[in-house]
Amino acid sequence: MSRVKTLGQFIIEKQADFPFSKGELSRLLRDIGIAAKIVNREVNKAGLADILGEVGEINVQGESVKKLDVFANEQFIAALSVGGECCAIASEENEEIILVDNAQSKNAKYVVAIDPLDGSSNIDVNVSVGTIFSIYRRVSLTGPGTPEDFQQRGTEQVAAGYVIYGSSTMLVYTTGKGVNGFTLDPSIGEFCLSHPKMMMPKSGKTYSLNEGNYLHFPDGVKKYLKYCQEEDNATRRPYSSRYIGSAVADIHRNLITGGIFIYPATAASPKGKLRLLYECNPLAYIVEQAGGRATNGSSRILEQEITSLHQRTPLFVGSEDMVNKAMEFMQKYSPVSAQQG
Ligand code: AHM
Ligand code: MG
């Protein structure tokens, strides 16, 4: 008897954690898993674009070749629309929310916020990319979802996860009862439980941020960076610098080995670059569930108010001790009062 547990089996088992559930959330997670496998298939053959046809061209099969982020967006929207458990989708790729209004979605309870292919500029150079998703219970009553359904703080997330298309493909998710990771076994086409009950080390020795923006970092980040580079045996400094430029990949590594990821406010992006709804909130929820911490430099990401769909925020996320230390530097050298003044 095989000891492999697939994502599908795991989701069904975990349904018992929600005594009044009728299985809708389980089906929603299953739909996301299916779309992720289709996206994975396309990501894996990205380097073949020259043979099969360039983006925007007609390939040798006579099909037009789409940009992968457009393709990923379409796949997730299709899976979520047909699945019938979701009444609206907010995607990084779409200015407005996408209303799901069909026979299947009539009694749908959930809305989904998604970044279908994050870090997509890394595709051309064969570096890991990811999908990030976040699920909320709708606040509207019936019919297709509304923008208000997405104006909920991150603390209201029912589930969140990411898929990393890396040297192997993994799906990592939480429903608020810990974090579990599943690795895609291509030979059977299933995500299999490989990282049960993921916990982030309390501290680590890796920092990840785009140091090219150094001149425009807040003083608190500049000083923290110097702290990371100082020598100190007790805290295993200097830390190592690792920056992939795909938030999912950087945060996934830090989740496993310990570390901190920072995307602060910069001159080019005074409110930070990453988006609260479909990037920072789901990543923050996962990291917190794994014992880590996520803030905007002064307060908890999950408690930020959502004022617009594509709103940005600075992000400090990772091992608890490291985020706490970075926050100390922010408080001392870049207090909120100075940022507002
Ligand atoms: P994207 O949503 O346009 O792909 O941008 C988000 C990505 C993150 O994955 C990554 O952490 C960050 O942008 C990298 O930005 P930069 O190149 O400014 O360091
Ligand atoms: Mg993105």
Identify which of 209, 246, 251 to mutate to test ligand 1's pocket (most ligand atoms within 8 A of the CB): 246
* CA of 269, closest atom in ligand 1: 18
115 near 275, Cβ under 8 Å? yes
What's the whole-model pTM score? 0.94
Instruction: Map out the domains of the chain as residue ranges.
Output: 7-195, 206-339
Atom 17 in ligand 1: residue holding the nearest Cα: 245
Q: How far is the CA of 280 from the centre of ligand 2 (A)?
A: 10
* CA of 69, closest atom in ligand 1: 4
Mean pLDDT by 10 residues, the chain (341 residues): 85 78 86 95 78 58 72 94 92 94 83 94 88 96 91 97 96 96 95 97 97 95 98 95 97 98 91 97 98 97 96 98 98 80 39
Predicted confidence at residue 102, as pLDDT, reads 81
116 near 149, Cβ under 8 Å? no
> Within a 10 A sphere around the Cβ of 132, how many other Cβ atoms?
29
Q: Which residues contact 193 (CB under 8 A, 6 or more apart)?
A: 4, 5, 6, 7, 10, 180, 181, 182
Predicted confidence at residue 58, as pLDDT, reads 63
Q: How far is the CA of 93 from the centre of ligand 2 (A)?
A: 9
CATH domain 7-195 topology: Fructose-1,6-Bisphosphatase; Chain A, domain 1 (3.30.540)
pLDDT digits (tens, 9 = 90+) for 98-119: 999 887 777 899 999 999 999 9
Q: Which residues contact 191 (CB under 8 A, 6 or more apart)?
A: 6, 7, 33, 36, 37, 170, 171, 182, 183, 184, 185
Predicted confidence at residue 341, as pLDDT, reads 39
Of the CATH numbers 3.40.190.80, 3.40.250.10, 3.90.1150.10, 3.40.50.720, which one belongs to the domain with range 206-339? 3.40.190.80
User: What gap in Å lies between CA 137 and CA 116, rounded to an integer?
Assistant: 20
Atom 3 in ligand 1: residue holding the nearest Cα: 119
Pocket of ligand 1 (CB under 6 A): 92, 115, 118-120, 210, 245-247, 263, 273
Q: What's phi and psi for 270, nearest 5 deg?
A: -60, -20
State the burial class of residue 314 (Cβ atoms within 10 Å of its Cβ: 0-12, 13-18, 19+): buried
Nearest to 82 by CA among 62, 100, 95: 100
pLDDT digits (tens, 9 = 90+) for 122-181: 888 889 999 999 999 999 988 889 999 999 999 999 999 999 999 999 999 999 999 999
Q: How far is the CA of 52 from the centre of ligand 2 (A)?
A: 26
Residue type, 206: T
* CA of 248, closest atom in ligand 1: 9
